[in-house]
Amino acid sequence: MFWVISVFYLAAAVLFILGLKAMSSPVTAAKGIKQAGIGMVLATVVTFLIPKEFTPTGDSAPILFSGEKWLNLVLIVVALAIGGGLAAYMGKVVKMTDMPQMVAVYNGMGGGAAALIAAVEFAGGNIHSGIVAALAVLGSLIGCVAFAGSVLAFMKLQGIMKKAFALPQQNIINAVLALIAVGLGVAIVILVPDEKTFSIAVPLLIIFYVVSLVLGALLTAPIGGADMPVVISLLNAFTGLAVGFEGYVLSNPALIIAGIVVGASGTLLTKEMAKAMNRKIAKVLFKPITGAAQGEAVEGTMKEMSPMDAAAAMRYASSVIIVPGYGMAVAGAQHKVWEMTQMLEDAGVDVKFAIHPVAGRMPGHMNVLLAEAGVPYDMIYDMDEINSEFANTDVALVIGANDVVNPAARTDKSSPIYGMPILNADQARQCIVIKRGQGTGYSGIQNKLFFEENTTLVYGSAQQVVADIITNLKTLV
């Protein structure tokens, strides 16, 4: 039985890693999702075969089919049916623009599940080793922080929590809570393995979980939308680490491997996202961009343009670079943008898409939205690949993007985005911005691009404005 289980877990682990590797490219991402999904099915199926040798009790009968354990079988099947049914339904009905919220929910579910695993093991008296107790406590702390933080992230992304919330002396409060959680964790590790002191550890466990959840909520509450892509990636890494630790507690190789893979990849992605914003992860957590107005005042006026003039400027241009942002996603304009792009290409215009690493609400969000609309992968360029081309481009069309094209990132040292690499849309011969109004971006600062001499704005919903541009393009020869 052991070798069968080991082979299943090895196969699941290989599929997880192959799936993750395939997801690194848009061309193979769909295949990677399927591979990882098959791996998860294998890891779930083998759970029904695990003998009690894998648990502290040491019986040889299969854990789910031994006498009173039939109840476990029923509960797991019901849970799989409910969870799988909800996931399948949500996967079909959730819009691509709402995918960041869905990812935040899944992050939270993973972290919360890891914390609950440890809670069940503690409550059942199944932890008899200091090392196992330490890993269970560490996984619980990280899992609770990931769960509470993901709930707050979901509320922010969904618009339920519209403003960042910070307590006076927020960082000091967080530090005190972290010290309390660590102190309680150390006490639990000392008390739990000893049957004589276990009763003392129970109330400490309850307090530990409450403090950990509060800490996770308070860490995320002050963080504004500008930092949200980094936060989502960081919470994902936290969830992976928590799952890996609890996999050791359960002696479950699949959980250990999956947790390590997710934790490692999430950590690397978080570092890359922070680098793309030129912000240290510590600043994201302890000195977040809250959305409050900051930076130097911008002088000048914004110049308005009609959809007809915008259509003419692009129709008779030699080259156009389109810079999509979350405003395009909210308006659901990506399909219209692709229709407009095809018309421009048919007219002989060279069109490319420029994607900033933190465009949208999560890593890769804009790439997925454009791919969903049918934009070919070879038309979509990362910032490093295309930034040098703006200076030789006739028109840069910015649709719903703000902070990622703000020249203040280069010049205004008082700006919260100073030093952040941006797309050089301001260097194009002409810059056209589609924008609902004259509001600021997530960072809360005014965009200097909108006041540049070569910049004009077309006001309105991105979908309607692009539709009007398409109508006018049809009239131009």
Residues 120 and 278: their CA atoms lie apart, in Å, by: 41
pLDDT of 221 above 90: no
Q: How many CA atoms lie within 13 A of 68 on its CB side?
A: 0
**403 classed as catalytic:** yes
Task: Confirm whether 153 is domain-assigned.
Answer: yes
Q: Which two tokens stand for residue 384?
A: 């490093």
What is residue 379's predicted lDDT score, i.e. its pLDDT? Answer: 92
Task: Confirm whether 407 is domain-assigned.
Answer: yes
> Is 201 found in the same domain as 275?
yes
> Is 319 found in the same domain as 426?
yes
Contact yes or no for 237/263 (Cβ under 8 A): yes
Please provide residue 96's backbone torsions phi and psi, each rounded to the nearest 5 degrees: -60, -30
The percentage of residues in the chain with a pLDDT greater than 90, rounded to a whole number, is: 32
pLDDT of 138 above 80: yes
Arithmetic mean of pLDDT, 363-381: 84
Residues 409 and 419: their CA atoms lie apart, in Å, by: 5
What is residue 357's predicted lDDT score, i.e. its pLDDT? Answer: 81
> Is 314 found in the same domain as 277?
no
Split at pLDDT 50, 70, 90, the class of 55 is: very low
Tell me the pLDDT of the chain averaged across its residues. 83
Arithmetic mean of pLDDT, 126-154: 90
> Is 126 found in the same domain as 270?
yes
What is residue 228's predicted lDDT score, i.e. its pLDDT? Answer: 76
Residues 153 and 473: their CA atoms lie apart, in Å, by: 41
Q: DSSP alpha helices (H): ranges in 277-419?
A: 281-286, 307-315, 326-331, 334-346, 365-373, 383-386, 408-411
Structural domain of residue 378, as residue ranges? Answer: 307-473
Task: Confirm whether 384 is domain-assigned.
Answer: yes
| Domain edge (last residue) among 227, 260, 290 | 290
The 3 state secondary structure assigned to 284-303 is HHHCCCCCCCCCCCCCCCCC
Task: Confirm whether 88 is domain-assigned.
Answer: no
> Is 149 found in the same domain as 274?
yes
What is residue 404's predicted lDDT score, i.e. its pLDDT? Answer: 87
Split at pLDDT 50, 70, 90, the class of 229 is: confident
pLDDT of 195 above 80: no
| Domain edge (last residue) among 233, 261, 290 | 290
42-51, 278-287, 311-320 — most confident range: 311-320
Task: Confirm whether 41 is domain-assigned.
Answer: no
What is residue 262's predicted lDDT score, i.e. its pLDDT? Answer: 87
Contact yes or no for 424/418 (Cβ under 8 A): no
Based on the structure, what is the number of domains in the chain? 2
What is residue 65's predicted lDDT score, i.e. its pLDDT? Answer: 44
Per the model's pLDDT, the better-predicted residue between 5 and 180 turns out to be 180
Contact yes or no for 336/466 (Cβ under 8 A): yes
- Residues 72-110 have pLDDT tens digits of 778 888 988 998 898 888 888 887 777 778 888 888 999
CB atoms within 10 A of CB 53: 16
pLDDT of 232 above 60: yes
pLDDT of 249 above 80: yes
> Is 212 found in the same domain as 313?
no
User: What DSSP state is assigned to residue 318?
Assistant: S
- In three-state secondary structure terms, 224 is coil
> Is 277 found in the same domain as 315?
no
> Is 316 found in the same domain as 282?
no
Per the model's pLDDT, the better-predicted residue between 74 and 363 turns out to be 74
Catalytic residue among 227, 403, 412, 426: 403
Of 269, 140, 301, the closest CA to residue 216 belongs to: 140
What is residue 67's predicted lDDT score, i.e. its pLDDT? Answer: 46
DSSP β-ladder status, 319-324 and 430-435? unpaired
Task: Confirm whether 301 is domain-assigned.
Answer: no
Task: Confirm whether 62 is domain-assigned.
Answer: no
> Is 284 found in the same domain as 135?
yes
- Residues 400-454 have pLDDT tens digits of 888 889 888 888 777 777 888 889 999 999 999 998 876 665 556 788 889 898 9
**pTM of the complete model:** 0.78
Residues 424 and 405: their CA atoms lie apart, in Å, by: 7
Per the model's pLDDT, the better-predicted residue between 244 and 50 turns out to be 244
> Is 209 found in the same domain as 314?
no
What is residue 214's predicted lDDT score, i.e. its pLDDT? Answer: 95
CATH number at residue 382: 3.40.50.1220
| Domain edge (last residue) among 235, 256, 290 | 290
Q: Using N-to-C axis directions, what is the helix angle for 99-123 and 365-373, rounded to 10°?
A: 130
Task: Confirm whether 91 is domain-assigned.
Answer: no
> Is 321 found in the same domain as 458?
yes
Q: Using N-to-C axis directions, what is the helix angle for 99-123 and 228-249, rounded to 10°?
A: 30
What is residue 62's predicted lDDT score, i.e. its pLDDT? Answer: 46
> Is 374 found in the same domain as 260?
no
